[in-house]
Chains A and B, each alone.
Chain A
Amino acid sequence: MTTDTSSLSIEQRFPEVFHQSSLKRFAPLLLLLGVIGYLVYAAWFFDLPKIMREGHWERTGLYLSQWISYDIQPDFTLTGSTIKPRFPKYSPLGDDPHPDWVIQNADGGYTILVDGRGRTVTFNKTQAVMTNNGEQVTVALSANVPAIATPLPAWVQIKSDQVIADMGYWGNVRITSDRVKVSKKFLGWANFVFDTDSPFFGKSPVEVVKLIVAGPELKPGVSNLALAGDNIWNNSEWQHGDVWTKLAQTIVMAFLGTICGAAIAFPLAFLAARNITHNGYLNQGLKRFFDFMRSVDMLIWALFFTRAFGPGPLSGSAAIFLTETGTLGKIYSEGLENIDDKQREGIQSTGASSVQVQRYGVMPQVVPVMISQTLYQWESNTRGATIIGAVGAGGIGLKLWEAMRTNSNWANVFYMVLLVLAVVFIFDSISNALRSRLIGRTR
C-alpha cells in the first residue's frame, strides 16, 4: 500500500516524466526500427548474404598462418635414373639444402618427415607409402595413374591423376605417377636477416659475430661489418632497406603536411575569426575556403599531385598539406572565437598595438589548444598517410598494397604492419606526452 501511494506521489510531482507525448515515448523505438530497416536495406544493397556465403572463409586461417610461417616445397621426379630432390628456385633454404627431414633410403627412394615421425611419406620408383598417425596408405606408381588398393581414409583424396594427402596443419603430399610433391610448413620468418645469396646465410648468430669481429674478409676490399650491413639492408626477400625508406617517407609525409598546413592556417585563422577581424565578408570567405579545402578530399588532392609531381612523398605531403590547411584553419578559427575577451580588452586598454594585443591578449589563451589539436591531427595523418600512399602518393602504403595484391607475401605484409603499428604507438605516446605537459603547464 505504501509503495502505491509513494509511486502516486512521484507521479503527481513529476507528471512530465510519466505523461510524455506518444511521439517522445516511442521515439527510441522508432529510431531503432529505422536503423534495423536501414541495415536490412544495406544487406540487400550489398548483396551481403550471397557475398558471405560465397566467401572463401577457409582462406582466412591459411592467410593468417602465412603471416608467421613459411612453406618449403621439395619436388621429386621419379622418371629419371635416380630420384633427386629439387627445391623451388627462391626456396628459403638456399641452393643446395640437405634438410634433416628429407632422408635418403638405401633403395634410392626417400622418406620425408612431414610432421615428425608420425606423419611421413616413403617412396621409391614403384610405390609410395604414406603414414598418418599410424594409418598407412600404399600408392602404386607403376601405372599411368597412381592407384590405391585399400579404401581411402578421410585424409586422402584422389583428383584425376593426383593423390592428395592432407597431413594436417604442417603440410601435405601430392603424388602423381611420375612425381612426388611435398609441402612442409615452418613457423617464423625465413631468412629475415640474411637472404640465401649472402655469405652469412645459414650461420648462427655467434658465428656471424665472430666473422664480423675477427673473421677473414669474405668479400675482398669490403669489411665484414659493412658486408653484413649491406646484406641485411638489401635482403632480397624482406627488402629491409626499401621498407624502412618507405616508412620514413610516410612519417615525413604526415609531418610535412601537418606542419605546413598549420603554418598557413595559423595566420588565416586570425582573419577568419569574427571576434578578431571585424569583416564579415573576409570571415565568411575564409571559412568557406577552409570548408572547400576540407571537402575536396585528401584523395582528390593526392591523385592530382601524383600526376603533377609523380608518385612519391612530395605528392602525399602536398595532399595532406592542403587538406590540413582547411581542417586546422577551421579548428583554429573556432578556438579563437571561443576565447575570453577580457584579456584582450585589458591589453588594449594599455594602448598596445594591434599585433601586441594578439600576441599578449589572444595567443596565451589559444596556443596550447592549437598545439594540442595540431598534435591530434599529426597522429591522425600518420595513420592517414599509409592509406594515401596506396593510391600512388608513395610511402609504405603502396608497398603494403603491392605485397597484398599478390596474395602470396603475407609475412611481408605482417612485417610492415608491425612497423606501422610501432610507429603509430610511438607517435601516439610522444603526442600524448607533449599534450599533457602543455595542458598541465597552463592549468
Chain B
Amino acid sequence: MLVPHPESEAAREVHAAWHKLSGQRRFYSFLGFALLLFALGGSMWFADTSNAGHFFDRLPHLFDFLSWLVPSDWNDVWRALFDIASPHDNGTQEFNFALGRVPVWGDFYFPEYFQLMLITINVALVSTLVGFVGALCLCFVAARNMTPHPWLRVIVKRFMELMRAFPEIVIAGLFAAILSIGPVAAMIAVGLHTIGALGKLFYEVIENIDMGPDEGLKAAGGNWIERVRFAALPQVMPNFVSYALLRLEINVRASTIIGAVGGGGIGEELKLSISRGFGAKTLALIILLFLTIFAVDQFSAYLRKKLVGDQSFMIKA
C-alpha cells in the first residue's frame, strides 16, 4: 500500500478528513444508541407500570407458579397424554383422563390430545394450502415484470398488504360469529393471512427471475398464461414450495394461538388447562405441542434443504 509521507500536506488533509468523518459517524452511532436505550427504558417503565403485577415484586416469585405444574404423580403425565385412567381419579376435571377418549373401533380409541393436535395441524395444513393457491394466483399479477397491467398490480398488491396486516383474531371472530366458534373460523383467518404473507414473498421471487425464457416465449407468440406457466413457474416453483413450508411452520404456531382465543384445537385446551392449574394435563399438552412443532420444523427444514440447497432463508411474516 502506498503511504504518503506522514509530514506531507496531503497526508494531513486525509488524516483530518478521516478524523472528522469517523468522529461524525461515532457521534451518530452514539446518538442512535442513546435514543434506543431511552426508548427501551421508557418502554420497560411503561410495560411495568401498566402490568397487573410488577416486575420486581413478582420476580422473587417467578418460579412459584411452577409449583402447581409439578404433578403429584409423574406417571399422570403419560396417562393424560394417552387417556389412560388414573388411580387418582376423584371425579374432578383434573384427573378425568379416560373421559376424553375418541372411540375408533370397539375398545380402540384415539387419545383426546392427539385428536386436538390433529385438528390444529389440519387447520395449519389447509390454511397453508389455501394461502399457497391464493398467493400463486395473485403473485404473477403483482410482480413488476410479469403483470398484465400496472393498475391491476397496484390493486392486487394493496389487497395482499391488507390481508397481511389485518388482525387475524378479527377475521376469526367475525367468522366465529357467522359459522359458530370452531376450527373452521381459525382456518379462514389463518388462510387469508397466509395469502397476503406468501403473496408478498412470491412476487419478490418472481421479480428476480431470469427474463430470458419469457422473451423466448413472447417471441414465439405465447400468451400471458403460457408465459407464466412455461417461463416463470419452472424457475420459481422450488422457492415457492420452500416458502410455503416455512409458512407451514409459522401457521402451526398461529393456529395454536388462534385456537386459544376460541378457534378450538390444542390451543384452547392448553389455555383452559393452564388457567385451571392442572399440572399433569398441562405438562402432557406442552410435551405434545413441543414435539409436534419441533417435528414440523425439522421436517420442513429437511425438505427445504432438498428443494433449494443450503440457501438460508429469512423468516418473514
Q: Name A residues whose Cβ lies closer than 8 Å to a Cβ of B.
A: 35, 38-39, 42, 45-46, 48, 51-52, 54-57, 59-60, 63, 245, 248-249, 252-253, 255-256, 259, 291-292, 294-300, 303-304, 307-315, 317, 327, 331, 334-335, 338, 373, 376-377, 379-380, 383-384, 386-388, 390-391, 394, 397, 400-401, 404-405, 407, 413, 417, 420-421, 424-425, 428
Contact = CB atoms under 8 A, between A and B. Distances in A.
28 contacts: A51-B184, A54-B180, A60-B178, A245-B50, A249-B46, A259-B36, A259-B40, A292-B290, A296-B290, A299-B257, A299-B270, A304-B65, A308-B53, A308-B61, A309-B52, A312-B53, A315-B51, A327-B315, A376-B315, A383-B167, A384-B317, A387-B261, A391-B257, A400-B169, A401-B173, A413-B170, A420-B167, A425-B165
Contacts of A400: 167, 169-170, 173
Nearest to A64: B174
A349 B163 CA distance: 52
A417 B180 CA distance: 22
A404 B184 contact: no
B238 to A, nearest CB: 13
Contacts of B258: 387
A309 B177 contact: no
Interface stretch (B122-130, B137-145, B146-154): B122-130
B253 interface: yes
Interface residues on B, range: 35 or more
A303 B270 contact: yes
B165 A55 contact: no
Contacts of A57: 178
B10 to A, nearest CB: 25
Contacts of A291: 294, 297
Contacts of B170: 400, 404, 413, 417
Interface in B255-292: 256-258, 260-261, 267, 270-271, 274-275, 286, 289-290
A51 B179 CA distance: 6
A248 B50 CA distance: 10
A209 to B, nearest CB: 32
B261 A55 contact: no
B294 A377 contact: no
B166 A376 contact: no
A55 B40 contact: no
Given A42-B126, A401-B261, A383 B274 contact: no
A373 B316 CA distance: 8
Contacts of A424: 165
A59 B47 contact: no
B315 A331 contact: yes
B314 A255 contact: no
B58 interface: yes
Given A55-B178, A310-B58, A425-B165, A297 B293 contact: yes
A397 B187 CA distance: 19
Contact of A38 (B47, B125, B166): B125
Contact of A394 (B50, B184, B256, B290): B50
Nearest to A248: B46
A388 B129 CA distance: 24
Contacts of A256: 40, 43-44, 47
B1 to A, nearest CB: 13
B171 to A, nearest CB: 10
Interface in B194-217: none
B243 to A, nearest CB: 14
Interface string B153-170: 000000001100111111
Nearest to A403: B173
Given A303-B271, A377-B315, 12 more contacts: A55-B180, A56-B178, A60-B178, A304-B274, A314-B47, A317-B47, A387-B169, A387-B254, A387-B257, A394-B50, A400-B167, A424-B165
B71 interface: no
Q: Which of A38, A296, A315, A391 counts the most chain B CB atoms within 10 A? A: A391
Contacts of A421: 162, 165-166
Given A299-B267, A310-B58, A397 B53 contact: no
Contacts of B187: 46
B16 interface: no
